[in-house]
Amino acid sequence: MELFSLKNKNALITGGTHGLGMAMAEALAIAGAKLLITGTTPHKMKDALAYYHSKGYDARGYLFDVTDETEAAKQVEKITAEASGIHILVNNAGIIKRESALTMPVSDFRKVVDVDLVGPFIISQLVVKQMIERKEGKIINICSMMSELGRNSVSAYAAAKGGLKMLTRNLATEWAKYNIQVNGIGPGYFATSQTEPIRVDGNPFNEFIISRTPAGRWGNPEDLAGAAVFLASKASDFVNGQIIYVDGGILATIGKPSNEE
Of 57, 157, 189, 245, which one is the catalytic site residue? 157
What is the C-alpha to C-alpha distance for residues 215 and 250, in angstroms, rounded to an integer? 8
Would you say 224 and 174 are in contact if contact means Cβ atoms under 8 Å apart?
no
Spatial neighbors of 244 by CB under 8 A, at least 6 apart, are 183, 184, 185, 186, 227, 230, 231
Q: Is the dihedral of CA 34, 45, 113, 162 positive or negative?
A: positive
245 is catalytic: no
Alpha helices in 90-143 (DSSP H): 106-113, 119-134
> Residue 94, Cα to own-chain centre: how many angstroms?
8
Instruction: Give the separation between CA 184 and CA 165, rounded to whole angstroms.
Output: 7
User: Burial of 1 by CB count in 10 Å (0-12 exposed, 13-18 middle, 19+ buried)?
Assistant: exposed
What's the CA gap between 240 and 171, in Å, rounded?
Answer: 9
**Pairwise CA distance, residues 105 & 52, whole Å:** 38
Q: What are the φ and ψ backbone dihedral angles of 106, each rounded to 5 degrees?
A: -60, -35
**Identity of the amino acid at 120:** P
**What positions carry a catalytic annotation?**
157
